[in-house]
Structure 1
Amino acid sequence: MATPFADDFLPEALQFRPDVPLVDIGANLTHDSFGRDLEAVIQRAQAARVTTMIVTGTDLAHAEQAVALAKQYPGLYATAGVHPHDASHWNADLQRAMAALHAMPEVVAVGECGLDFNRNLSTPQEQQRAFEAQLAQAVESGLPLFLHERDAGQRMREILHTWRDDISQTVVHCFTADRDTLFGYLDLDLHIGLTGWICDERRGHHLRSLVNDIPLKRLMVETDCPYLLPRNLPAKLKGRRHEPALLPWITREIAQWRGISETELANATTQTAQRFFRLPTALLEES
C-alpha cells in the first residue's frame, strides 16, 4: 500500500500518523532550509495530521514571508514581531509596519518577541524597549502574544506583571527554563509551549519532571523547526533539519512523561491552540 507521506524524505519508521489532528504553534517555515522543498514539507505535515501550523515571524521580512505562506496554504497562519536578537532595529517605521501586519487576518499573534539575556545580540535596554512597544501593540490589536525568553525569566515576569491586566492570552514558546520560572509564568496565567527539547536527555531531562505541573488547558506543542530535532526518533533523518511532520514524536514524549495517552494529550493541546489563536475548528477536524 502506498505511503500517505509526500516522498521518501522521512524514513518509514518516522512516518507517524496520530489519531488526532495536531497544531504546531511554532514553525520557522520561512527559514532558508525549507526553500527547496516547502511544498513537500507541508504535504508531509498534513500526512502526519499536523493540520495547522503557525509560521513564526521574527522580523519584518520573515513576518511578511509568513503572511505570504499563510495566504498560499490552507492551515497556515502567521505571527508578526521582532525577536529580541533584532530589538536594536526597532523604530517608528518598523512599529507602523508591524501594526499593519497585525491587522491582517492571517496574523494570529504578536511576536516572536521578548527577552534573551543569554546572547544579548541586542542590549538588554534595547530588548526591553522593543518588548514593551510590542506589548502595547498586543493591547491595541487584541491579539495574543507569542513570547521568547532565555535567561531573562525574572525580568520577563516583572514586565508582564505590569501589563498583565491589559494583554490577552500569552504563550511562552519553546519553554526550557526551571521550576521557579515555570510557576512564575503559570501564576501570571500564561500558556506554555513545549518542543523537542524535552526529547533531549542531555539538556531537557529537567522538563520531564515539570510537564505534570503544566495544566493541559495551558499546554501547547511545537517543533520550532528547523531547530531542535527530537533525539527520541527511532531512525536517522537525512541531514539535521527538523520539520512539522515530526511533531507527533514530541507529543508522544510529553504524553509518556505525563502518564497519559497520546490521544488525550493531542486532543487537549489542539483544543488549547484552537482557543488561544482563535482558529477555525474545520481545519483542525480535517484528517
Structure 2
Amino acid sequence: MSKIDSSLFMSPVKQIVIGNIRKDTTIEDLKDCFSQLIKKHDVSFRIAVDKKGKQKGFAAVSIPITLVNDFLNYNGRNMKGHRITVVLSEDFKISKSTRWQQEETGVFKTPSPNQYNSLRSMPFLYKLFDAGVYLTHPKFSKNALNVIERAQSCGVKKMVVLGANVHQCEQALGLCRLFSGSLFCTAGLGPKHAPFWTDEAETQLTQIASSGHCVAIGECGLDLSTDELSSSQSQQLYAFEKQIQLSIKLKKPLVVIEKQAHIETLSLLQKYKDQLVDVVVSFVPENKAQIVKYVQEGFYIYIHGNVFLPQNSCIKKWLTDSDEETNVPFDRLLLGSAAPYHSVFRCTDIDWYPRQFTDDTQHKSFDIMLKHCKDNYSEPCSLPSMLVMMCCMVGDRFTPRSLAEKLTQNAVTFFHLDKSVGEEASVKVTGEKFCNKTPASHHRRWSFFVVTALVVVAAVVLLGVVCVKYSVLDKVGALYNLL
C-alpha cells in the first residue's frame, strides 16, 4: 500500500479500518494492540456490528494524519491469534447496514468511517461553491474534518483552499489529495510573506501549481495598509510580478489580494493584462470607482463576508445600484467565505436573515452557522447566509436559487473545472446538477420497486391460470346465484 507523506498535512483526521479481528474483540483489546501509537493521542475505536449487535469482524478508528503511516505498519500484526489487516477506509468496502459500537456511549452509531469521502448533505434548495477559504489556518488545525463536513451539510459542495505561503500551499495540496474532487487549492505567496520570496520558493510553488489539484496562482498582491507593510513595498511588487509571470507560464488564473494599493495593483495587472488567463481581485474598496475600474479591465471581484460589514458600504451600494454606467456584471462575481476571517456573524444584516425564507433546510443552515461561527471566527458553512444577504441586496434581479447557480457557474468557469482536475474529471455543472453521482441506495430503491412490481404481476398471472384451470370463477358464480 502506498504511504502518505504526513509533512503535507496539518492535522486533519483520517479514517483507518482494522479487519480480520476476532468476533469477541473488545475496544480494550484494540487499545492494547495499538497502545504504542495512541499514548499521546485521544482516539476513539469503533467496532462494527450488525443490526442484532453481533460483531462483523472489523473495527474503525479516527486518527491524526501524522499517525497514518505508523498505523499502516501494523498491517499483518497478530492480535488474539488473528493476523489483522490495517487499511485506509476508502480501500475497505463497508455495507450501509453496519452499526458502530463505541465505548463512550455503548450505543450503535452511524455513519460509517467512509462518510468523509461521500458526505451527504441535507436537501438544500441550491448547491454552492466556496471560491476562497483558508482551511490551513491554525484555527482549523484540530477540526478541519468537522469544518468540511459542516460545509458539505450546508450545501457547500466544492471549495478552493487558498494559501498565503509555501507551507500553507503544501498543506492545502495535501487536503485536496484527501478530498479529491471536493477540494482544490492555489499556490502563491501573499503580500505579508513577500519578503521570503526566493528562487527556492518559486521552484516549490511551481511544483505545487503543476499538480492537477491546483487551479490558480495566489493569493498574491499588494498590502500597504500599515507602515510596516508599506516598508516592504518593493519586495511585494517583485514577488507579485513573479507570480503574475508564473500564472502566464502555467496558464492558470490569478488570485489577487489588494489592501490600500489600488493604483499600484491595477498598474501592474494592466501591464500583463493581455497575457493573463483570468484575474480575481479580493479587496475592500475605498469608493465605487475602484470597483468599476477593475470590472472594466475584465477582472472578477471576490464577494466575501467582510463586504457585508457596516463600515464597508461601497460594494453593498454597488450591488444595489441600478445605474447603467456602473451596472453589476454578475458573471464576474465569485463568492468566497474567506474563513476563518471576515465572519458574517458580525453583520447587522444577520438579524433579518431567518425571516426571508420559510424553507426548513435554509433555517438549518442558519442554525449551523449560529452554532459554529463567532465574531472573530467564520466557517464555510456561513456561505448560504452570505448568499441570502447578497440576494436581498440585488433585489428582484435574482432568486437565491438562480443567484447560487450563477455564482457556482462563475467559479467553475474561472477555475476551469470543466477540464480534468486532480485524479478525477470534474463535471461542468449548473444548479441541481452540481452534486455527487446518484448514490447506490437510490438504485437499490428503484430495483426494489421493479422487483416488487414483477412479483405482483407474476402472482396475478398465476392466480389467473389457477382460476381458469380449476373453473374457480364458474363455481363462484354458481354459488352466488344459489345465494
SS at match of 1:23: strand
Establish whether residue 118 from structure 1 lines up as the match of residue 225 from structure 2.
Answer: yes
Deviations 1:2-55 (A, max 9, x none): xxxxxxxxxxxxx99742211111100001111221111111111111001000
Deviates more, 1:167-176 or 1:217-226: 167-176
Which residue of the other structure, out of 372, 377, 381, is the alignment partner of 1:245? Answer: 381
SS at match of 1:77: strand
Contact 1:175 1:192 survives alignment (8 Å): no
Match of 2:278 in 1: 169
Letter in 1 for 2:435: E
| Separation in 2, partners of 1:92, 1:223 | 32
Contact 1:198 1:254 survives alignment (8 Å): no
Deviation at 1:282, TM superposition (A): 6.3
Deviation at 1:237, TM superposition (A): 4.1
Contact 1:176 1:197 survives alignment (8 Å): no
Q: Which runs of 5+ in 2 are unaligned?
A: 1-120, 321-326, 352-366, 418-425, 437-483
Contact 2:219 2:257 survives alignment (8 Å): yes
Letter in 1 for 2:401: T
TM-score calculated relative to the size of structure 1:
0.89
Deviation at 1:198, TM superposition (A): 2.8
Establish whether residue 264 from structure 1 lines up as the match of residue 402 from structure 2.
Answer: yes
Contact 1:117 1:150 survives alignment (8 Å): yes
Identical residues among aligned pairs (%): 26
Matches within 5 A, 1:39-54: 39-54=145-160
Establish whether residue 214 from structure 1 lines up as the match of residue 363 from structure 2.
Answer: no
Deviation at 1:205, TM superposition (A): 2.5
Q: From the superposition, tell whether residues 175 and 105 of structure 1 become closer, same or farther in structure 2 (CA, over 3 Å).
A: farther
Deviations 1:179-225 (A, max 9, x none): 11111111110001101123212x12232111254311101101100
- Root mean square deviation, CA, Å: 2.0
| Separation in 2, partners of 1:116, 1:200 | 20
| Separation in 1, partners of 2:287, 2:146 | 37
Bigger relative contact order (CA 8 A; separation at least 6):
1
Q: From the superposition, tell whether residues 35 and 17 of structure 1 become closer, same or farther in structure 2 (CA, over 3 Å).
A: farther
Matches within 5 A, 1:69-108: 69-74=175-180, 75-108=182-215
Contact 2:215 2:416 survives alignment (8 Å): yes
| Separation in 2, partners of 1:255, 1:174 | 20
Contact 1:225 1:241 survives alignment (8 Å): yes
| Separation in 2, partners of 1:193, 1:126 | 25
Letter in 1 for 2:187: A
Letter in 2 for 1:218: R
Match of 2:472 in 1: none
Match of 2:435 in 1: 286
| Separation in 1, partners of 2:185, 2:434 | 20
Could you list the runs of 4 or more consecutive aligned residues of structure 1 that deviate by over 6 angstroms after TM superposition? none
Contact 1:28 1:56 survives alignment (8 Å): yes
| Separation in 2, partners of 1:177, 1:44 | 34
SS at match of 1:210: helix
| Separation in 2, partners of 1:114, 1:16 | 38
| Separation in 2, partners of 1:174, 1:31 | 20
Which residue of the other structure, out of 237, 250, 253, is the alignment partner of 1:141? Answer: 250
SS at match of 1:223: coil
| Separation in 2, partners of 1:205, 1:237 | 27
Which residue of the other structure, out of 245, 255, 267, is the alignment partner of 1:158? Answer: 267
Deviation at 1:149, TM superposition (A): 0.3
Letter in 1 for 2:318: L
| Separation in 2, partners of 1:196, 1:150 | 16
Establish whether residue 131 from structure 1 lines up as the match of residue 267 from structure 2.
Answer: no
Deviates more, 1:98-107 or 1:276-285: 276-285
Match of 2:111 in 1: none
Which residue of the other structure, out of 320, 323, 343, is the alignment partner of 1:229? Answer: 343
SS at match of 1:42: helix
Letter in 1 for 2:312: G
Letter in 2 for 1:228: H
SS at match of 2:215: strand
Contact 1:108 1:278 survives alignment (8 Å): yes
